[in-house]
């Protein structure tokens, strides 16, 4: 922590102006000179028709967006799978640069590249013909605005900067959950509808929700993790983060004494905070028989399996949860602030498939009377509109879309 005169200098307008200029110069150097030159150097070699590169922009391991595709290619095909974890926003700039250099050099001879997030590093390259880039994205549907759609909002860069240093470039395919949402991805990624890059073939990770064995294992894990859940209904609270990725915060607005007193006889409550959040709220020990934070111990997929009610706010997980046709509650206590910060592709109050609550009391009251208030038909229509391509076979379609006619030649022999 900076103290004394160092803190005074750091906070001075002159030093902050210097930092701003230095960041601009480094961005120009790295995206216009450094990474393109590394790519050109390594692109002198031939494209390896067996090389598949998976790029995790932020996560430290293969995430759910990649998992099923990675496993399928690894177990049943003769491809060479490479992974890169860039840790954008989670590591220092020197380490980030080192990781990006290695990724760029590897991509230079790759036939196939998979992404699940925005990358201005990959987008700054002039990729050679023959490399196929498939953007899986990390969210279903189209909820919160991103990319060029946030150009006029607090969350995003300005329009000029996004055009100069695009985060969405070089895509061959962008896979989405339904035809209805294609327009939003084209807007955010600055893609022309005439190019047909956005393809509604489904979202790979949703295939697991059609797996009965996975559902059974999810319940086993729940009861092992939280024995008190046995014999009770499960409320999942899974909010999105607030602020920027590097300093993400999570909501902590529930009156746990009230929730415990009013719902504790029939329900337990599980908390799953966004993976970008570093400091998690602590649940008071007095409510340990009712509430548990499972952010670090259970996956969101397992939690969607086992929950009977989902409380969220602006998170895209509601698209996946709609596949189960179960009740959803939207705790949007800070809607006006979030609207100014990020914005939505659809009008929020007409879009969400459940009640919008401004207080924890309203959430609790809806759950107490859920048997008479839940409109399942509303959720079904939502699912059919925004998740129509998610039928348990998206992974198969995405792999075939990306690899094309050469796929069968790479299949491993069963002998």
Q: Is the pLDDT of residue 94 over 90?
A: yes
User: Could you report the per-residue pLDDT of 30-54, keeping only the tens digit for each?
Assistant: 999 999 999 999 999 899 999 999 9
d(CA 239, CA 221) in angstroms, rounded, equals: 22
Residues 276 and 170 in one domain: no
**pLDDT at position 337, please?**
83
Mean pLDDT computed over 162-186: 95
**pLDDT at position 122, please?**
98
Residues 356 and 271 in one domain: yes
Residues 248 and 289 in one domain: yes
- Report which of residues 349 and 78 the model is more confident about: 78
* Counted domains in the chain: 2
DSSP 168: S
Which residues neighbour 384 within 8 Å (Cβ) at sequence distance 6 or greater? Answer: none
Residues 186 and 170 in one domain: yes
**pLDDT at position 153, please?**
67
Residues 163 and 281 in one domain: no
Q: Around 259, how many Cα atoms within 13 Å sit in the side-chain half-sphere?
A: 27
Q: How many CB atoms lie within 10 A of CB 46?
A: 8
Mean pLDDT computed over 330-346: 84
140 within some domain:
yes
373 within some domain:
yes
User: Could you report the per-residue pLDDT of 214-257, keeping only the tens digit for each?
Assistant: 999 999 999 999 999 999 999 999 998 887 777 888 888 899 99
Residues 126 and 146 in one domain: yes
Mean pLDDT computed over 253-277: 93
5 within some domain:
no
Mean pLDDT computed over 263-283: 92
Nearest-5° angle of CA 239, CA 244, CA 246? 105
Span of 2-11, 90-99, 218-227, 377-386 with lowest mean pLDDT: 2-11
Structure tokens at 17: 């102006």
Segments forming the whole domain that contains residue 365: 211-386
For residues 200 and 176, is the Cβ–Cβ distance under 8 A?
yes
User: Could you report the per-residue pLDDT of 347-400, keeping only the tens digit for each?
Assistant: 888 999 999 999 999 999 999 999 999 999 999 999 999 999 999 999 999 999
Residues 217 and 117 in one domain: no
Nearest-10 Cα torsion for 264, 267, 272, 273: -40
**pLDDT at position 10, please?**
55
**pLDDT at position 321, please?**
97
Residues 379 and 317 in one domain: yes
Mean pLDDT score of the chain: 92
415 within some domain:
no
Q: Specify the CATH number for the domain of residue 133.
A: 3.40.50.11820
E strands, 38-175, are 48-56, 80-85, 110-115, 132-135, 173-175
Q: Specify the CATH number for the domain of residue 259.
A: 3.40.50.12580
Nearest-5° angle of CA 288, CA 291, CA 293? 100
Structure tokens at 383: 């699912």
Q: How confident is the model at residue 415 (pLDDT cuts 50, 70, 90)?
A: very low
13 within some domain:
no
2 within some domain:
no
Residues 154 and 226 in one domain: no
Residues 95 and 223 in one domain: no
Residues 350 and 273 in one domain: yes
Structure tokens at 232: 């009770």
16 within some domain:
no
**pLDDT at position 5, please?**
54
Q: How confident is the model at residue 269 (pLDDT cuts 50, 70, 90)?
A: very high
Span of 9-18, 300-309, 365-374, 392-401 with lowest mean pLDDT: 9-18
Residues 316 and 399 in one domain: no
267 within some domain:
yes
Q: Is the pLDDT of residue 283 over 70?
A: yes
Nearest-5° angle of CA 375, CA 380, CA 381? 100
């Amino acid at each position: 922590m900076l103290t004394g005169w160092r803190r005074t200098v750091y906070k001075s307008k002159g030093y902050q102006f210097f930092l701003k200029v230095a960041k601009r110069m480094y961005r120009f150097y790295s995206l216009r000179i450094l990474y393109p030159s590394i790519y050109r150097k390594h692109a002198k070699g031939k494209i390896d028709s067996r090389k598949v590169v998976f790029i995790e922009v932020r996560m430290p391991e293969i995430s759910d967006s990649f998992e099923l595709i990675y496993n399928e290619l690894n177990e049943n095909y003769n491809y060479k799978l490479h992974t890169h974890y860039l840790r954008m926003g989670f590591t220092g700039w020197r380490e980030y640069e080192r990781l990006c250099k290695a990724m760029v050099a590897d991509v230079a001879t790759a036939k196939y590249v998979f992404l699940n997030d925005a990358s201005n590093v990959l987008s700054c390259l002039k990729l050679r013909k023959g490399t196929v880039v498939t953007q899986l994205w990390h969210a279903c549907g189209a909820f919160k605005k991103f990319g060029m759609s946030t150009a006029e909002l607090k969350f995003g860069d300005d329009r000029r900067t996004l055009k100069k240093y695009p985060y969405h470039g070089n895509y061959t395919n962008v896979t989405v959950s339904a035809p209805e949402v294609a327009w939003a991805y084209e807007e955010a990624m600055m893609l022309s509808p005439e190019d047909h890059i956005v393809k509604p073939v489904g979202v790979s990770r949703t295939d697991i929700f059609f797996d009965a064995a996975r559902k059974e294992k999810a319940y086993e894990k729940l009861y092992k993790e939280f024995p008190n859940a046995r014999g009770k209904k499960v409320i999942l609270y899974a909010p999105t983060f607030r602020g920027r990725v590097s300093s993400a915060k999570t909501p902590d607005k529930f009156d746990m004494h009230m929730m415990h007193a009013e719902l504790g006889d029939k329900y337990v409550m599980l908390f799953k905070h966004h993976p970008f959040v570093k400091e998690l709220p602590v649940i008071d020990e007095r409510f340990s028989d009712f509430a548990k934070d499972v952010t670090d111990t259970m996956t969101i997929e397992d939690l969607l399996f086992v929950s009977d009610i989902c409380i969220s706010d602006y998170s895209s997980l509601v698209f996946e949860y709609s596949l189960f046709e179960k009740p959803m509650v939207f705790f949007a206590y800070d809607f006006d602030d979030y609207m100014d910060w990020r914005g939505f592709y659809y009008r929020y109050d007409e879009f969400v498939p459940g009640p919008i609550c401004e207080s924890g009391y309203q959430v609790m009251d809806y759950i107490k009377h859920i048997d008479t208030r839940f409109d399942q038909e509303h959720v079904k229509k939502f699912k059919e509109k925004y998740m129509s391509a998610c039928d348990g076979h998206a992974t198969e379609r995405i792999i075939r879309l990306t690899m094309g006619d050469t796929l069968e030649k790479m299949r491993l022999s069963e002998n």
